[in-house]
Structure 1
Amino acid sequence: MTATDIAERPIRSGPNPLHGMLLAGAFPLFLGAALSDYAYSTTFNIQWTHFSSWLIAGGLVFSGLALICALIGIFRPAGSRGLSIFYFVLLLVTWILGFINALIHARDAWAAMPTGFTLSIVVAVLAFAAIWIGFTSRKTGGQS
């Protein structure tokens, strides 16, 4: 390997693998929470709200760790700083609304609806938007 091979390293698109795994892991959990809230709204079986609470907790863990990676990504020299800040703020809003959703789901099953279902849908959409921005618009490594 010569010095020019190292200097002309190709630009890798997207987050690093750990960040990508954490980011991609949050969406299915938040989507599952929205779907289990829908199942509760149609069947009124309380177990669906308990399942939704656990899925939200898992989504908060994954999105919280992805949020830390996004915060570190703001200070990296590669890529657009404005887009990185927008991405971080989007993940932060997703995490905050997910936490509020977890608090709503901690109440009685009857009290969690319909606010919990609505918040679950909003958080799932925000998590998908964060994945979209995180995987398609950011470049790391190499020269821009």
Structure 2
Amino acid sequence: MSYTYAPSARVRAADSTYRILSAFPIAAFTLTVVTDIAYWQTANLQWLHFSEWLLFAGIVFAGLAGLVRLLGGIRFPWPYYVAGLVVLVLATLNNFIHTADGITAVMPYGLTVSVLTVIAMCVTAFFGRIGVRHV
């Protein structure tokens, strides 16, 4: 990231905190796809519960990262915000899907929404790379 001016200490701290917090939803939502596939192949309820907790943790950390981003003066292009909201909506929907019992919690909708969430995260990352402004 290149700066045309020196950002304040508050903005630098918010940027660092945002980057740390935003890593957790990326890992959690990506691992949800892995645990969904593991559940699909083994039918062991442990993998379903892992998926539920990963989704919950990802949503919590995404909310914290969004709060830091908004309060810290970090500005992204508007498509980044829209794509990030789509990721949160898909993850929340996926969390509700995963509360069903047995194989219906994962196949076919749970795994499909998990994959769509990861694709939406990739699109969000693309929009985030377009440009970042600090105020």
Q: Structure 1 residue aligned with 2:5, among 9, 29, 34?
A: 9
Distance 1:25 1:17 in 2: 14
- Counterpart of 1:126 in structure 2: which amino acid? A
Matched, 1:26 2:25: yes
- Counterpart of 1:111 in structure 2: which amino acid? T
Tell me the alpha carbon deviations over residues 26-76 of structure 1, each in whole angstroms, 9 at most, x when there is no partner: 111001011000011111111111110000111111222223344457xx5
For 1:16, what is the secondary structure of its paired residue? helix
Do the aligned partners of 2:40 and 2:103 also contact (CA within 8 Å) in 1?
no
Number of aligned residues: 126
Distance 1:132 1:107 in 2: 33
Gaps of 5+ in 2: 8-13
List aligned pairs for 1:1-144, cutoff 5 A: 9=5, 16-72=15-71, 76=73, 83=77, 85-112=78-105, 113-134=107-128, 136-141=129-134
CA RMSD of aligned residues (A): 2.6
Normalising to structure 2: TM-score of the pair?
0.79
When residues 25 and 132 of structure 1 are mapped into structure 2, their CA distance, relative to the original with a 3 A threshold, is farther
Gaps of 5+ in 1: 1-7
Q: Indicate the percent of aligned positions where both proteins have the same amino acid.
A: 31
For 1:9, what is the secondary structure of its paired residue? coil
For 1:106, what is the secondary structure of its paired residue? coil
Distance 1:47 1:124 in 2: 22
**Bigger radius of gyration:** 1
Q: Which has the higher contact order (CA 8 A, sep 6+)?
A: 1
Distance 1:69 1:91 in 2: 14
Do the aligned partners of 1:87 and 1:133 also contact (CA within 8 Å) in 2?
yes
